[in-house]
Amino acid sequence: MVMSKKVSVEELLKKAEKPSKLALAYHPFYEGKLQVMPKCAIRSAYDFAIWYTPGVAAPCKEIKKNKDLVFEHTNRWNYVAVVSDGTRVLGLGDIGAEAGLPVMEGKAILFKYLGGVDAFPIMLGTKDPDEIITALQWLEPTFGGVNLEDISKPKCFYILEKAREKLEIPVWHDDQQGTATIVYAGLINALKIVGKKLPEVEIAIVGVGAANTRTAIILEKAGANPKNMIMVDSKGILHSGRKDLEAEKDKNPWKWDFCLKTNSEGRTGGLPEALKGVDVVIAASKPGPGTIKKEWVAEMADDAIVFACANPIPEIWPWEAKEAGAKIIATGRSDFPNQINNSLGFPGIFRGVLDVKAKTVTDEMCIAAGNELAKFAEEKGIHEDYIVPTMQEWEVYPREAVACALKSIEDGVARVKLSRQELYDRAFAIIKNARESTKVLMREGLIKPPPPEEEILKKH
């Protein structure tokens, strides 16, 4: 159910502030969120002769003969580097590498709990894009994949593109591909509900940062007509007459390309002009409320679809969009229906590409993942307030993994080939193990319970 208008903005803000207050107490209580644990049997000190010297020399020699054997003799097949330079952290901007580390640790526990992936936070002491690419090349022998995170635009596009070319492991930028995957999944089902088709609808894309740049690319590859897209940045609608963007085309060729191939009507102006008569608005821009006004939504087509994804406050409150005539509304928040949440994507996608030891992860794999997410929700029974799965529906992650793994095999970038059933059984077992292991550690007191929320909130 869409949240009642009677809930005040003050109450919503207070609710949004609660995790921050708890985080300030819980982070130092645990002294971080990750640790390294053995996964092999240690029955006595003798076992170290197997896992370390002298026994370890035997697998080392085998790997020297064939480098791909590193995926069999070590955990490289399941290692992912969560890499950031701290230049665009969670809407906080350029806060530095050290300040970004708590975010990357958080990302790593999502990888483990939701996808069974052993992810490591790596903050880099450089902001130079070419140095970041070099660092990724240096790290490659240890990892089975790379998750780029919280890197400012436009260099994030360049880094992703070049790293994909240079590395023979999957490189993923979650701010781009993760968001795009979930938006695509939600849009597929939203269009089914209103009886419209992706190649035919007009889409306004509000905000042309990392998320919406890749969303536009993914939607086009999935069948949307770029001529029917109207993109809006902070200075207005993108069109071929935007001299400011033409002057910056060497630095940001992606944005200039949008000027040339979108907006076939040649619209100019700002948000009101962009939303007029369109079927869909996908916003990842300035937090609201009021970034998108109610009267602008009222000017959209019948059965309009509104994705207002800014956090912590969406560009327009869901109830306002509903009152203005929108049929389906999605946000980035967990306390409204239809949360567009990246955590639905990257754990399962990486599970899949790691399980086949893929050499890359492509936009087509994002589309395969989005299709599977949409299918899972459709089987559950989609409606106006349920267009994508929730994080609690963990069974979606093995299915998403299978979809990406099969696409990797189909595209010829998988180092190993497994059947659909083998892939599912493997992904299900690994993810279940990660979840159950955490529960066991908590039950046995090896992970201490946090201090009571009430005590912390009283102090603040």
Note if 375 is an active site residue: no
Query: How far is 107 from 189, CA to CA, in rounded Å?
Result: 27
Q: Extract the tokens encoding 405.
A: 């793994």
CA dihedral 171, 176, 179, 180 (to 10 degrees): -100
Q: Which run of H or E residues covers position 166?
A: helix 155-166
Asked if 361 and 171 touch (Cβ cutoff 8 Å), the reply is yes
**Which residue out of 52, 227, 380, 439 is catalytically annotated?**
52
**Residue ranges with strand state E in 72-170:** 79-84, 118-123, 145-148
Note if 107 is an active site residue: yes
* Residue type at 235 in one-letter notation: K
Asked if 316 and 292 touch (Cβ cutoff 8 Å), the reply is yes
Asked if 85 and 151 touch (Cβ cutoff 8 Å), the reply is yes
Query: How far is 283 from 184, CA to CA, in rounded Å?
Result: 13
Query: How far is 160 from 183, CA to CA, in rounded Å?
Result: 20
Query: How far is 133 from 128, CA to CA, in rounded Å?
Result: 9
Radius of gyration over every alpha carbon of the chain, rounded to an integer in angstroms: 23
**Which residue out of 79, 107, 112, 357 is catalytically annotated?**
107
Mind telling me the catalytic residues? 52, 107
